[in-house]
Amino acid sequence: MLLATLSLSLMQSMIKQLESLHTFEIFFFRGFITALICLFFLRRRSVSIWGKPDRRKWLLFRAVTGIFSTCIFYFTLKWMPFGAAVSLKYLSPIFAAIFAVFLLKEPLRWQQLVFFGIALAGVALLKGYDSRIETMALVLSLIAAVVGGLAFLFIRKIGSEEHPLVIVIYYMGLTTISMGILMIPFWRLPSQEELFLLMLIGVTGFLGQYLMTQAMQAEAVSRIAPLKYLELIYALLIGLLWFGETYLFWSFIGISLIMSGMILNVFFTKKRT
């Protein structure tokens, strides 16, 4: 899990580094390279890339919502401080829990509402005290979190019977097709340095997802899930050391509240289960 979160943080930092390339082009390369790696492993294990017939609808829904949410997140990486953008991404579980009440008939406890309130208070502090976060960027981040919550819900609908790499290849394969079309008006031939970073984005993206899946399969989720938030710690350190970003005291408190609210929700739901 330590390696998974580090891989994802490095991937996101390289996306932010490629400010001169359009987001559609970056997302295309990330999807194409990751899809090729997934295809290689699925072929070696003789697993069908199409998935089970009764799961294909949910696989497509998960891919579409994942693409929409991630694409917006990639845009916000370029528009706001690195640590703030990553922290806002972690609001997705709030909306996943709300959607689950209506679509999966799962109860939402009052303790969870308190934890979500803590996280949203962190968002308010971030916006109120960090002038680098524009209102439009914050709104887009919240939209990405809402759609990301739907993506979580569709993964639940897919269930554990489907191979994890099938979920990933649907997501990355559709990413390659959609971003390949959308990037045409914005296409620019990458330099050698940019092409190297794009290759690394694809590899680290795959490693992050694959290693996290391995971690979830090898250990109890209640022990592993909170470690996912190490990605935010990495993001703060990368923002400080790589991009030279600084955070006001209240901005840092806001990020801490977001992380605390989400971690408390993980512990509470797993303990209840």
* Closest-CA residue to 228 (of 266, 201, 254, 256): 266
Q: What is the DSSP string of 60-88?
A: HHHHHHHHHHHHHHHHHHHHS-HHHHHHH
pLDDT over 90 at 273, yes or no: no
Question: Over 60: is that where the pLDDT of 217 sits?
Answer: no
Cβ distance 245 to 239 under 8 Å?
A: yes
Q: What is the structure's pLDDT at 174?
A: 95
CB 51 within 8 A of CB 157: no
Give the phi and the psi of residue 104 in degrees, each rounded to 5.
Answer: -115, 0
Domain residue spans of the chain: 2-272
Return the pLDDT at 5.
Answer: 84
Binning pLDDT at 50, 70 and 90, where does residue 52 land? Answer: confident
Mean residue pLDDT of the chain comes to: 84
pTM of the model: 0.82
Reported as a single tens digit per residue, the pLDDT across 100-115 is 888 777 787 888 889 8
pLDDT at 249: 78
- Asked if 234 contacts 85 with a C-beta cutoff of 8 angstroms, the reply is no
250 vs 141: CA distance, rounded Å: 19
**Cα–Cα dist 112/118, whole Å:** 10
Residue 138 in tokens: 């914050």
Calpha distance 225→219 (Å, rounded): 10
What does the pLDDT read at residue 216? 60
Q: For 225-250, write each residue's pLDDT tens digit.
A: 566 777 777 887 888 888 887 777 77
Rounded distance between C-alpha atoms, residue 86 and residue 262, angstroms: 13
Mean pLDDT of 258-263: 82
User: Using the 8-state DSSP alphabet, how is residue 133 labeled?
Assistant: S
Task: Tell me what pLDDT residue 129 has.
Answer: 67
Residues above pLDDT 90, as percent of the chain: 29
Q: Which helix (H) or strand (E) holds 253?
A: helix 249-272
* Three-state secondary-structure class, residue 19: coil
